[in-house]
Structure 1
Amino acid sequence: MLKDFPFYLGILIVILLLIMLANKIKVAYPILLVLAGLIISFIPGIPVINIEPDLIFFIFLPPLLYEAAWKVSWKELWRWRRIITSFAFVVVFLSALSVALVANYFIPGFSLALGFVLGGIVSPPDAVSAGAILKFVKVPKAISSILEGESLLNDASSLIIFRFAMIAVATEQFLFYKAATSFGWMIIGGVSIGLLIGWVFMKAHKYLPTDNNADIVLSLLTPYIIYLSAEQVHCSGVLAVVSGGLLLSNNRHRFLTSKSRLQGINVWESFCFILNGFVFMLIGLDLPQITRGLEGVSLLSAIGYGIMITLVLIISRILSSYGAVVITMIARNFITVADSKNPGLKAPFILGWTGMRGVVSLAAALSIPVYLNNGNGFPQRNLILFITFIVILLTLLIQGLTLPYFIRKINFTTLDDSLSRDEVYKNIRQELAEYAVNYLKINYSDQVENNAALQHLILKWEQYSNGIEDESIGNELKVIYLDLLNQQRQWLLEKNRSDLNIDESIIRRQMHSLDIEEEKLRFL
């Protein structure tokens, strides 16, 4: 391992350069990384990459899911809960079922159980790929919220399908009542363990004498401990990490200082930036190794099977997207739905086309054991691995490269809010500034007349300024200003809870601004 360290260091440099290139040419970086890994793997003398499944499941997956849970808006997740749940569970199951039936019928030697193994592997879309593409184009907030919410849950549902299919292959039987019991325990137990351990860490942050460095280290440990604890009792580690992450994210301002929040954001973004880069590079690097492991089937036939399964996934997701919208339109006549407007043919197509596969599919495929418990080789293992890699590669190339084009061609004005995000942010800031001025004048009225610095502070908010003068303002005014910042945070949280039409990311942007304001006080 040590002798290959210069190679991995070089790979990291290549990843950084490719991501910078991707941002320059406005292409999703997972596409460039997979292609670059594939090209590098054919260079003579390059070390052979053998990816350990535990490396991805335990090292890569928990922090990536945890960071995604911190970024997602709980309010938006709850608002679009029905369609998110449909995509994360129903659409994933329908995709897995479609793959299972097609594989069983068209691929020689594929039983229905093996088809579900393959279906469970390739059914969940990858959130990183979609997010990397969507940052270059403008889509309605509703679509991005649905995709973010789906990405948190579809990994869990697909892995549950995968596990049950693996049991069916190993035992050559499927007992429904046992599967139903295990399914319930994996979901309920996973969520419960995630919330419990998340609550413990929340109290540890709040009551232990931690500083910002300790807070960040604790946050890095949290997803790993949650995931390992859930997996040890055969629950869904994915759902546990997501549940714990959502709990801690929604209460971040109750137990973390402004400095911990600011530094934590930077650390986590850099950490996940490296993890994502390595994972997609490893996908390309390992493809030739998988190709050499094919036995009993020609390379051309295997490629054909991969293309067939890719088409099945694309078509089934698009059809499911339109089906979900139809059901929502019918359901609005009986229950309250998040958005009663008819999205037409535009939004379902984009939701259906954002089906790039990635990290979870790779990890699940690699976790297939070489041998069964009875000593026999796992049937069709290498072909399943190869098809998975083809699906990842083709969905990244076909859907990943064309998604920006379709989004630009589709006019989403009918789905957009009447005000732009910048206009909403400006209005929120103006309301917040007015609240700040009124709070200071009411609660510190006896000090306003005689305190020039306090007058300046009031003037600052009256003019919607972004900073304060770089001069000492005294401890007394610092106390007042800290009190004001805390009151503003409470106002923003209440505004977020009471107004369901406000995008929570705008509130978080203003919260981030208040954290910066508080940090400035340390140097005044």
Structure 2
Amino acid sequence: MTELLVVIVSGLLVIAAATVYGPRLGVAAPLVLVAVGVAASFLPAFGSARIEPEWILEGVLPPLLYSSAVSMPTMNFRREFGAISGLSVVLVVASSLVLGLFFALVIPGIGFAWGVALGAIVSPTDAVATSIIKQTSVSKRVVAMLDGESLLNDATALVILRTAIVATSASFSFWGALGTFAYSVVVAVAVGGVVGWLNLVVRRRVTDATVNTVISFTVPFIAAVPAEALGASGLVAAVVAGLMTGIRAPRLLSPENRLSDSQNWRTVELVLEGAVFLTMGVQLKEVVEHVERDHAGVGTAVLVALGALAITVLVRAVYVSSLLVSLGRRARRREKLQPRLVEMQEKMTTPEGKQEILERASARPGRRPSESDLDRFAVRITRGLADVEYFLREPLGWREGTAVVWAGMRGAVTVAAAQTLPDDTPQRSVLVLVAYTVAALSLLVQGGTIGPLLRRLAPPVDEAAAAERSSAERTRLFEILRSSSAGVEEPRRVRGNRGPSSSRSRRTTGSG
């Protein structure tokens, strides 16, 4: 028991030290933790250490993804949802298939299905990239896209992994696998949505911030466990529950409760992510020994990992290039709509304009619109104009595309998913080592160069123009607040309540 306590306390101290001193040394904290784990694996206490992968997939990843989903800025997620969904679903599927073909060709005896399984393992990116690029002057849109991608692509990759493992059986059916994939996602979304709604219904009635936060720690598991029991993706359910909580919490939970959640969940994220990379380093020695004992050596596995990493970057670059072209066309279409939206917004500010829009809508067949319908329409116009201004103010060019491509690093999910490969997987130790090596090389090469690369690519900043934009933004926000407050009715005075000044006058009169 004492040894276990020493290990836990030492691990926490190492995680804290790596987080503080890693960036100062110019090394990503996950790499420091992996190195410490490798060094610890040579100690007798860790000679036979083996972490069950289910502990990571079912005990670590649900709270990590839930926490990231809750903290995701709702407005940015909505605006970039098209790009995020493409990066986290289409790109992961494409990368898994291309890598599956590559692995089937270069690793003898595994076949295409196991190749796709390994491709799904190394396809998802890690959220560590976001923490690095936030320290540079990269566009907020890039940060939002990478945040959303790292949030959703983990679940996509693990669903593909599960489907590929099923595909290795003799009774595999393509349409059956597609149906399993769809069922896994749809049921998980439904379970996550219900749990997220119940979470807010319960927690809005709990006033104690500490108790409220304790309840929040159970939410990702309450979403993930039933989803897994129904044969769906527990990670997708945890993500959906987190998104619903993040969207509705500002309206239903008190600021004190939300502040407590934020502080405590950041601590949980730090500890869990650090623990994953430490265990990766601890188990790396055993994986290498298995490869050397069962196969020719680690050299081939490292070469395969290098090729896989190059392919992931190449596929990502091709996809992001096409994505930027698509987003550019969409932005130009929105720009053409801007004058029309401005005209409609101006009409909505006058009674005559409202009446004109109401008459036009009433002339169409169907239900006659009400005043509340017009109010919702006005909100949609305002939101549409704000979106147009956002996309025009933050265009995506080759610099932003380069950031999105190079910031796609592999990490915790790749490490955890590699350990879930069944024991009867052909050349299992080689596949696990390839996955570990891809994650380590990605963090070392991309993580070590992303900061300097983005600083070199960043265009010169016009301080005066930036200050002017900031001032204009503040002025616009104040105008919105003033116009919003003008429409709020003054609270009615309760009869008999004359306020403090009346009380003072009564006391003065009485004393006189």
TM over 0.5: yes
User: Would the alpha carbon gap of residues 79 and 432 (structure 1) be closer, same or farther in structure 2, given more than 3 Å must change?
Assistant: closer
User: Would the alpha carbon gap of residues 25 and 432 (structure 1) be closer, same or farther in structure 2, given more than 3 Å must change?
Assistant: farther
Matches within 5 A, 1:260-299: 260-294=257-291, 295-299=294-298
Residue 301 of structure 1: aligned partner: 300
Matches within 5 A, 1:160-199: 160-169=159-168, 171-199=169-197
Residue 440 of structure 2: aligned partner: 393
Whether the 8 Å CA contact 2:66–2:242 is kept in 1: the answer is yes
Which whole-Å deviations, capped at 9, do the CAs of 1:147-184 have from their partners, x for residues lacking one? Answer: 11111211121112111110012x13531221222122
Superposition RMSD in Å: 3.2
Identity over aligned pairs, percent: 28
Which whole-Å deviations, capped at 9, do the CAs of 1:459-490 have from their partners, x for residues lacking one? Answer: xxxxxxxxxxxxxxxxxxxxxxxxxxxxxxxx
User: Would the alpha carbon gap of residues 254 and 417 (structure 1) be closer, same or farther in structure 2, given more than 3 Å must change?
Assistant: farther
Unaligned runs of 5+ in 1: 371-376, 454-524
For 1:355, which of 405, 408, 412 is the aligned residue?
A: 408
User: What is the CA distance between 1:271 and its match in structure 2?
Assistant: 1.5
User: What is the CA distance between 1:106 and its match in structure 2?
Assistant: 1.8
User: What CA distance in whole angstroms lies between the structure 2 residues aligned with 1:48 and 1:237?
Assistant: 30
User: What is the CA distance between 1:424 and its match in structure 2?
Assistant: 7.4
Instruction: State the TM-score, normalized to the length of structure 1.
Output: 0.77
Instruction: State the TM-score, normalized to the length of structure 2.
Output: 0.79
User: What is the CA distance between 1:448 and its match in structure 2?
Assistant: 8.5
Secondary structure of 1:297 counterpart: coil
Matches within 5 A, 1:69-468: 69-127=69-127, 129-169=128-168, 171-207=169-205, 209-294=206-291, 295-330=294-329, 339=391, 343-370=396-423, 377-412=424-459, 419=466, 427=475, 443=491, 450=501
Residue 32 of structure 2: aligned partner: 32
User: Would the alpha carbon gap of residues 293 and 434 (structure 1) be closer, same or farther in structure 2, given more than 3 Å must change?
Assistant: same
User: Would the alpha carbon gap of residues 291 and 107 (structure 1) be closer, same or farther in structure 2, given more than 3 Å must change?
Assistant: same
Unaligned runs of 5+ in 2: 338-386, 505-512
User: What CA distance in whole angstroms lies between the structure 1 residues aligned with 2:28 and 2:462?
Assistant: 24
Residue 470 of structure 1: aligned partner: none
Whether the 8 Å CA contact 1:104–1:110 is kept in 2: the answer is yes
Whether the 8 Å CA contact 2:134–2:143 is kept in 1: the answer is no
User: Would the alpha carbon gap of residues 266 and 425 (structure 1) be closer, same or farther in structure 2, given more than 3 Å must change?
Assistant: farther
User: What is the CA distance between 1:230 and its match in structure 2?
Assistant: 0.9
Residue 7 of structure 1: aligned partner: 7
Whether the 8 Å CA contact 2:328–2:396 is kept in 1: the answer is no
User: What CA distance in whole angstroms lies between the structure 2 residues aligned with 1:103 and 1:111?
Assistant: 8
Higher deviation after alignment, 396-405 or 411-420: 411-420
User: Would the alpha carbon gap of residues 320 and 389 (structure 1) be closer, same or farther in structure 2, given more than 3 Å must change?
Assistant: same
Larger radius of gyration: 2
User: Would the alpha carbon gap of residues 85 and 44 (structure 1) be closer, same or farther in structure 2, given more than 3 Å must change?
Assistant: same
Which whole-Å deviations, capped at 9, do the CAs of 1:49-89 have from their partners, x for residues lacking one? Answer: 31211110111101111110111112211111111111111
Q: What is the one-letter code of the residue matched to 1:405? A: P
Higher deviation after alignment, 399-408 or 98-107: 98-107
User: What is the CA distance between 1:48 and its match in structure 2?
Assistant: 3.4
User: Would the alpha carbon gap of residues 210 and 113 (structure 1) be closer, same or farther in structure 2, given more than 3 Å must change?
Assistant: same
Secondary structure of 1:101 counterpart: helix
Whether the 8 Å CA contact 1:140–1:416 is kept in 2: the answer is no
Secondary structure of 1:450 counterpart: helix
Higher deviation after alignment, 116-125 or 51-60: 51-60
Whether the 8 Å CA contact 2:167–2:177 is kept in 1: the answer is no
User: Would the alpha carbon gap of residues 205 and 71 (structure 1) be closer, same or farther in structure 2, given more than 3 Å must change?
Assistant: same
User: Would the alpha carbon gap of residues 111 and 441 (structure 1) be closer, same or farther in structure 2, given more than 3 Å must change?
Assistant: closer
Whether the 8 Å CA contact 1:141–1:416 is kept in 2: the answer is no
User: Would the alpha carbon gap of residues 343 and 271 (structure 1) be closer, same or farther in structure 2, given more than 3 Å must change?
Assistant: closer
Secondary structure of 1:51 counterpart: coil
User: What CA distance in whole angstroms lies between the structure 2 residues aligned with 1:274 and 1:395?
Assistant: 22
Whether the 8 Å CA contact 1:354–1:399 is kept in 2: the answer is yes
Secondary structure of 2:204 counterpart: helix
Which whole-Å deviations, capped at 9, do the CAs of 1:465-521 have from their partners, x for residues lacking one? Answer: xxxxxxxxxxxxxxxxxxxxxxxxxxxxxxxxxxxxxxxxxxxxxxxxxxxxxxxxx
Q: What is the one-letter code of the residue matched to 1:211? A: D
User: What CA distance in whole angstroms lies between the structure 2 residues aligned with 1:276 and 1:334?
Assistant: 41
Whether the 8 Å CA contact 1:26–1:136 is kept in 2: the answer is no
User: Would the alpha carbon gap of residues 71 and 115 (structure 1) be closer, same or farther in structure 2, given more than 3 Å must change?
Assistant: same
User: What is the CA distance between 1:232 and its match in structure 2?
Assistant: 0.8
Secondary structure of 1:92 counterpart: helix
Whether the 8 Å CA contact 1:29–1:132 is kept in 2: the answer is no
Whether the 8 Å CA contact 1:87–1:154 is kept in 2: the answer is yes
Whether the 8 Å CA contact 1:92–1:124 is kept in 2: the answer is yes
User: What is the CA distance between 1:425 and its match in structure 2?
Assistant: 7.8
Secondary structure of 1:3 counterpart: helix
Whether the 8 Å CA contact 1:126–1:356 is kept in 2: the answer is yes
User: Would the alpha carbon gap of residues 292 and 430 (structure 1) be closer, same or farther in structure 2, given more than 3 Å must change?
Assistant: same
User: What is the CA distance between 1:263 and its match in structure 2?
Assistant: 1.7
User: Would the alpha carbon gap of residues 415 and 365 (structure 1) be closer, same or farther in structure 2, given more than 3 Å must change?
Assistant: farther
Residue 371 of structure 2: aligned partner: none
User: What CA distance in whole angstroms lies between the structure 1 residues aligned with 2:430 and 2:272?
Assistant: 27
User: What is the CA distance between 1:196 and its match in structure 2?
Assistant: 0.6
Residue 68 of structure 1: aligned partner: 68
User: What CA distance in whole angstroms lies between the structure 1 residues aligned with 2:463 and 2:301?
Assistant: 44
Q: What is the one-letter code of the residue matched to 1:194? A: G
User: What is the CA distance between 1:300 and its match in structure 2?
Assistant: 1.4
